[in-house]
Amino acid sequence: MAPPLTDTSSSNYQDLPIIINGAGLVGCMAALYMAQHHGQKVVLIDKRQDYRSHKYEGRSINLAISHRAFKALGGIDQEFVKHFKDESVGLKMKGRGIHMKDLKSDSLEDQFGKTSRVGFQPYGISPDEYIVSVGRHHLNCFLLEELEKKFANVLQVEFEATPTRIEYAKMDNESVSILHFKNKEGELKSVTGKFIIGADGLNSFVRQQMQNNPNCRFSSSQTYISHAYKELSIRPNAQTGDYVMRSDCLHIWPRGDFMLIALPNPTRDFTVTLFMRQYKKRDYAHAIIPFYGQGVNCGFEDCHVFSNIIKEEQSKRGLKPTAFNSELIQAVFENYSLTRKPSADAILNLSLHNFIVMRSKTADPLFLLEQAVMRFLHKNFPQVNAFKPLYNMVAFTPQKTYADAWNTHVNRENFIAKIKQYAVQTLAACAISAISIGIYSKCRSQPPASVAVSTTTPGTTPSITEQTIQLSYSLYDASKGIAKSIGGYFGY
């Protein structure tokens, strides 16, 4: 274990560490990248207890690791990727297992999907398109232990340290950041670094300090959804000790305004999460809502992108990988903001969108038909980007940013909506034309005597021709109403 932190100061700017507030998943990954790719000393600060010393008892949706997280893990060590793809650590989920509410059987076997009653919706079309269910606690402990194992000589960790203040100063004409905190003994300490990375979650202390500093000109906003979640579990079969339902998929019980999901564990149980609307309590646990399963993937990708931007800016200036200065850091953060802010906005939109998909559309036959058509087109025309399903772009295409994936999806949906609109209008026009042709044919088939009568006087019976004309107008009005109703059904 790394030694506890002491007051850190240096007269040499290049000897200063990178300070990371938050020793969670992203904090540890950021520390790995700063130490391995940039040769920096790292100081990790966390207000919690060392999570390796006690059993995790908090609420935690299982993590779903996909290609973006694996790419970032591989950027540190390919053995990390192999470790989490090992079935003793992580379980591959190849699609969604949908539990419909109209099951007639009350048996647990049917309800939990040992029969074919549970619909399976694959995530992708190739064998390597899957996500991996991993326990958050295991992943966090693994990263921290690897960090200490590989970089004990440049790493300092301080748990149970409550940050109190951030200030900025100058050293050798370079800007530095100073983090003041109170350690677990209640002593006031401080550490000086080149810059501070805030990996401290939703109620970030670093972000709050930036908001309170008028020189930062930093603004942010938070919006809460009305749904909260409750963690449950499904235990192994009491007789056999095996899974009670298939373990190669993410199980969903879609119920419109609420849903239940279950992710498999190597211990043959399932971590279950109930999402439901609440009007008093809200989900304060996520900086972005967790409905795309991309939180850890996005965070790890952030670290990978940040490291690459540092290398890019160093290369522009002819600096060594270990050389930093204020001008470089300023350029890095500006470049990073321009690069990642669109994707941060996009993953929020994607998460909101997928929440609706999971709780409602996974049970919608029309949506399933559209997805089947999209998979067919993508499988037969993989080179056509417009045919690539949204989930495939997000989870299995790390070379495409979240912003690119979302924009492609929005443009495609707009195009499909126009096609639907034209199709509905065309069908309605065909229906009107068919009715009109039928009426015209009926008029042409009447005997000549009926055609001779063109007017009527009050109190007389209308001629067959006049009755036909009146019927034609009535049917025309009715067909327009039908066309309007059909268009309204499809949202036009």
What is the pLDDT, as a whole number, of residue 283? 41
Reported as type and span, the H/E element at residue 290 is none
pLDDT for 160 beyond 50: yes
> Cα angle at 285 between 282 and 289, to 5 degrees?
80
Q: What are the pLDDT digits (tens) for 252-267?
A: 998 887 888 999 999 9
Instruction: Report the interhelical angle of 78-85 vs 67-74 (nearest 10°).
Output: 140
Q: Is residue 16 part of a domain?
A: no
Q: Is residue 30 part of a domain?
A: no
| Averaged pLDDT, 294-323 | 95
| Averaged pLDDT, 447-469 | 52
pLDDT band at 85; cut points 50, 70, 90: very high
As beta bridge partners, residue 157 has 44
* Nearest 10 degrees: Cα torsion 17, 21, 23, 24: -130
| Averaged pLDDT, 435-461 | 57
Among 34-38, 288-292, 343-347, top mean pLDDT goes to 34-38
Among 141-155, 200-214, 464-478, top mean pLDDT goes to 141-155
Q: Which residue has the higher pLDDT, 76 or 379?
A: 76
| Residue 378 near residue 343 (C-beta atoms within 8 A) | no
The DSSP secondary structure of 114-153, one letter per residue, reads: SSTTSEEEES-SSTT--EEEE-HHHHHHHHHHHHHHHHTT
pLDDT for 153 beyond 70: yes
pLDDT for 281 beyond 60: no
Q: Which residue has the higher pLDDT, 55 or 273?
A: 273
427: domain range?
Answer: 415-489
| Residue 206 near residue 198 (C-beta atoms within 8 A) | yes
Q: What are the pLDDT digits (tens) for 19-65?
A: 999 999 999 999 999 999 999 999 999 999 998 887 655 556 678 99
- For β-strands 91-93 and 131-134, DSSP reports them as antiparallel
pLDDT for 435 beyond 80: no
What is the pLDDT, as a whole number, of residue 376? 87
pLDDT for 15 beyond 90: yes
Q: Is residue 181 part of a domain?
A: no
Q: Is residue 112 part of a domain?
A: no
What is the pLDDT, as a whole number, of residue 250? 93
Q: Which residue has the higher pLDDT, 267 or 288?
A: 267
Contacts of 328 (CB under 8 A, 6+ apart): 310, 313, 314, 317, 319
Q: Is residue 442 part of a domain?
A: yes
pLDDT band at 453; cut points 50, 70, 90: very low
Q: Which residue has the higher pLDDT, 341 or 449?
A: 341
Q: Is residue 451 part of a domain?
A: yes
Number of compact structural domains in the chain: 1
Q: Is residue 278 part of a domain?
A: no
Q: What are the Cα distances from residue 450, in Å, to 168, 435, 445, 459?
A: 99, 22, 10, 18
What is the pLDDT, as a whole number, of residue 5? 45
Place of tokens 């979650």: 201
Average pLDDT for the chain: 83
Q: Which residue has the higher pLDDT, 418 or 451?
A: 418
What is the pLDDT, as a whole number, of residue 357? 82
| Averaged pLDDT, 419-445 | 74
DSSP state, 89? T
pLDDT for 481 beyond 70: no
Residue 166: count of CB within 10 angstroms of its CB = 21
* Nearest 10 degrees: Cα torsion 146, 152, 153, 155: 90
Q: What distance separates the 2 farthest-apart alpha carbons in the chain?
A: 114
What is the pLDDT, as a whole number, of residue 461? 56
Q: What are the pLDDT digits (tens) for 229-256?
A: 788 899 999 999 999 999 999 999 988 8
| Averaged pLDDT, 63-85 | 96
pLDDT for 112 beyond 80: no
Q: Is residue 434 part of a domain?
A: yes
pLDDT band at 285; cut points 50, 70, 90: very low
0.85 exceeded by the pTM? no
What is the pLDDT, as a whole number, of residue 447? 53
What is the pLDDT, as a whole number, of residue 278? 67
